[in-house]
Structure 1
């Protein structure tokens, strides 16, 4: 809580905004903030054909 406001922290901001809008319609003051926790590192992917780790050089 921040003062008299309820804080919602979420990774999916669109979902949290819709949820907060519904709470505001009920008269509950609330505020949405983005999730700032760091994501855990992903395990290395192994190529099933070669047994070697996949290269991570490609940017999507």
Structure 2
């Protein structure tokens, strides 16, 4: 899950999974006079292997014969 952060200097004020929530929180803090900024999470998700429910093994990527 992504973790976007709202920072005040080096201090984390807020973490959110959705970027829009972090941006709204930062905007509210700026309205209160705090100079904070949003640091979006740029990590890429790893591809998860699908598991076959019947065999308990990963699906194979075989090409059809013919």
Q: Does residue 1:54 correspond to 2:59, yes or no?
A: yes
TM-score (norm 2): 0.50
Q: What do you get for the CA RMSD once the two structures are aligned? A: 3.2
Structure 2 residue runs without a partner (length 5+) = 1-8, 62-66
Structure 1 residue runs without a partner (length 5+) = none
Select the structure that is richer in strand.
2
Cα distance in 2 for residues equivalent to 1:13 and 1:43: 23
Q: Does residue 1:18 correspond to 2:24, yes or no?
A: yes
Q: Does residue 1:27 correspond to 2:22, yes or no?
A: no
- How many residues are matched? 52
Would you say the 8 A contact 1:45–1:53 is kept in 2? yes
For the pair shown, which has the larger CA radius of gyration, 1 or 2?
2
